[in-house]
Amino acid sequence: MTVGSPPYRPDGRAWLSAARKVGTSLSVVAITLFGLLVITFVVGRMVPADPVIAIIGDQADQAAYDRVYQELGLDRPLVVQFGTYVRDIATLDFGRSHLSRNEVATDLARVFPATVELATAALLIGTLLGVPLGVVAAVRRGTWIDQVARVVGLVGYSTPIFWLGMIVILIFYAGLGWIPAGNRVGLYYEGLVEGPTGFLVLDAVLAAEWDVAKSALGHLVAPALVLGWANTAYISRMSRSFMLEQLNQEYILTARAKGATNNSVIWRHAFANMRVQLLTVIALAYCGLLDGTVLIETVFGWPGLGQYLTTALFFADMNAVLGAVLLIGLISVGINLLCDVAYRLLDPRTK
């Protein structure tokens, strides 16, 4: 723009193009959510577990069975049942858990923060360790650092996470006594802190309950490290691949020819151009952590969404199962939307 020229104002075509892009994104989200509703509804009707038996037990008479069957609306056509299901979900009504006797939405609000806390801690570990390890391995390709990164990736990919969790418990809890038993906090401190975030460590710090924070952090370390180990393997491997791709580009040779320092070439040029790809990897890793903590929560006795889902499956509590699965799907869609926004901020070319 020259001096004295008026500021740029988008014309009608620009606004129309932007509106089309927004409309396309919203359409994709709507179709994804509708497909998620269809899948969860079909799964809930196809599983062999009988929801009526789960409520009244197998000793009830036929009259009681028929009454509950009608109360649940199972005697109606599937189209009507699906319409009722969509209406209830739109009002955040996931039904009542047959196991806890609470509303499923209430149960999910209670257990989900524990899963987010664990998944976030594991993601931080995987990102803070995996990204530098992958970048350095690419820069020092063929050296011992590169070999270490490859071993970390290989072991992290090939080791079953539930087996690793049991080994950690066997060695560091049963053998050495370095880590505490399951749950999020010691029994003595349970219920002392109920903060606004639901993240026990953060709420304890905000409340200045340092003993509770120390106990909660001690319970969080072991499962977060196990999940973070697998996450480190994935993120370091992808970071190495992205960095190698960037280092082979012509603009890197141009930057070196102009006298740019090695650190400037690596972090200011190459790393800046792999941020969008890396963001995708981290977002996918986070989605995988949110729905992949089932095994770790079960192994470590972590009272989160994974343990809640496992217990609900074991007792055929389908309202709880479908509510948990639907919540995970909604979170995944939301994370992908945030990634689309971040793409536009990090890389103007996507606009």
Alpha helices in the chain, H assignment, sequence order = 12-46, 51-56, 62-71, 78-90, 104-139, 144-158, 161-168, 200-206, 210-247, 250-257, 262-263, 271-273, 275-292, 294-300, 305-314, 318-346
Instruction: Give, for all 351 residues of the chain, the pLDDT tens digit.
Output: 444 444 444 555 655 665 666 667 677 777 877 887 888 777 777 766 666 776 666 677 777 777 777 777 777 777 887 887 788 777 877 777 877 778 888 888 888 888 888 889 999 998 998 888 888 888 888 788 888 888 877 887 777 877 888 888 888 877 777 777 777 777 777 777 777 777 888 878 887 788 888 888 888 888 888 888 888 888 888 888 888 888 887 777 787 777 777 777 778 778 878 887 888 888 888 888 877 677 788 888 888 888 888 888 777 777 888 888 888 888 887 887 777 777 777 665 555
Angle between helices 318-346 and 12-46 (to 10 degrees): 160
With the CA atoms of 224, 229, 230 and 232 taken in that order, what torsion angle do they form, in degrees rounded to the nearest 10?
110
Return the pLDDT at 156: 77
Angle between helices 104-139 and 210-247 (to 10 degrees): 50
The Cα–Cα gap between 197 and 203 comes to 7
Q: Which two tokens stand for residue 149?
A: 């990164």
Please give the domain boundaries of the chain with CATH numbers for all domains.
12-90 (no CATH), 107-163+223-350 (1.10.3720.10)
Q: Which residue has the tokens 């639901």?
A: 198
Among 334, 340, 348, residue whose Cα is nearest residue 280: 340
Among 335, 281, 296, 342, residue whose Cα is nearest residue 29: 335
Q: Which two tokens stand for residue 337?
A: 């939307």
The Cα–Cα gap between 297 and 295 comes to 6
pTM score, two decimals? 0.78
Classify 142 as helix, strand or coil: coil
> Between the CA of residue 46 and those of 50, 94, 306, 327, 328, what are the distances in Å?
10, 18, 22, 20, 20
